[in-house]
Structure 1
Amino acid sequence: MEKTIIFKLNNQEYGANISQIRSIEKLEEIVSLPQTSDFIKGIINLRGNVTPIIDLRTRLGLQESEPTEQTRVLIASVKDVTVGLIVDEATDVIDIPSDVVEDAPELVKGVDYRYIKGVAKLQDRGMLLLLDLDYVLNLDQIEEVQQVVNKE
């Protein structure tokens, strides 16, 4: 069993291991940073900590959209780096038995398959794409943001 947080991007449900998620926050004002990757939206001040914010849609090559009331920021810890991930909606936390997870096919609805850790076939929800946050977050780019943040 793996505890998994469920969130939506473009009406498709995704999951990520809950152990990497520290909190779920409402989207606040983001201070944009010049000369960073297009998926790095900027930084926020989260309880006194400057946190880089990543648009997960852009990172996965999906079409961008305007934030809504349901838009959330998943505060994730990946390899000792804290980042915020913008998602359309955070919907649930569920247990996923390992026997319903299969390796991801190389072509998954336009998303780079390397970002997908697996596909869970759930009776009540259908197919759920499980993201590999370690791969989604290119640490060189995150460290680049942190260096900019630390200079200010």
Structure 2
Amino acid sequence: MNDKSELNPNTADMSGQEYLVFTLADQEYGIDILKVQEIRGYDSQAVTRIANVPSFIKGVTNLRGIIVPIVDMRIKFRLENVEYNSQTVVIILNLKSRVVGMVVDGVSDVLVLQSSQLSAAPQFGAAFSTEYLTGIGTIGDRMLILVDIERLMTSEEMALVEEAMA
């Protein structure tokens, strides 16, 4: 028997969640659109380096009076050949405990995913941590890695930024 969302397409539309889709290397990722404050072009000149922080933390920038740590997700996810170009952007995230910027290769679009398009994150064992992944989203032949950006950006590593700025 059909479930209720199949009987009433409007119900399915209301249960969808919006994701901002960004790219790192050739892979697409999705984060909850409600965490996104704004998207800006990446300007390395506007980022001030901080000593003794992990390499994925590019530094901090002043965004209208708020000091915002900038995290390069390509370095964080250990991707090779990190290059900055005109497509490189910073996604400014408004998280419950802080404002953080994350550098990505580009932003493509905003997608609404229904529960039928979501799968659980695969388990890789102790060799690879999936604690920051919420699942996999599929739309046609596209596959998005869905990231729990709140959990990722409030990890212990990110606390090092606040310690360095204190």
Q: TM-score range by the shorter chain?
A: 0.7 to 0.9
TM (normalized to structure 1)?
Answer: 0.87
Larger radius of gyration: 2
Partner SS, residue 113 of structure 1: coil
2:16 aligned with 1:31: no
TM (normalized to structure 2)?
Answer: 0.80
Q: 1:9–1:25: structure 2 CA closer, same or farther, 3 Å change rule?
A: same
- Which residue of structure 1 lines up, in the alignment, with residue 31 of structure 2? 16
Q: 1:111–1:59: structure 2 CA closer, same or farther, 3 Å change rule?
A: farther
Pick the aligned partner of 2:101 from 49, 59, 84.
84
List gaps (5 residues or longer) in structure 1. none
Pick the aligned partner of 2:161 from 137, 142, 145.
145
2:17 aligned with 1:2: yes
The answer as to whether partners of 1:16 and 1:132 remain within 8 angstroms in 2 is yes
Larger strand percent: 1
List gaps (5 residues or longer) in structure 2. 1-15
| Structure 1 segments of 4+ aligned residues over 6 angstroms from their partners | none
Pick the aligned partner of 2:147 from 122, 131, 150.
131
Larger helix percent: 2
Counting matched residue pairs gives: 147
* AA aligned opposite 2:160: E
- Which residue of structure 2 lines up, in the alignment, with residue 56 of structure 1? 73
C-alpha deviation, 1:58, in angstroms: 1.5
CA RMSD of aligned residues (A): 1.9
- Which residue of structure 1 lines up, in the alignment, with residue 83 of structure 2? 66
The separation in 2 between residues aligned to 1:62 and 1:3, in whole angstroms, is: 26
The answer as to whether partners of 1:21 and 1:77 remain within 8 angstroms in 2 is yes
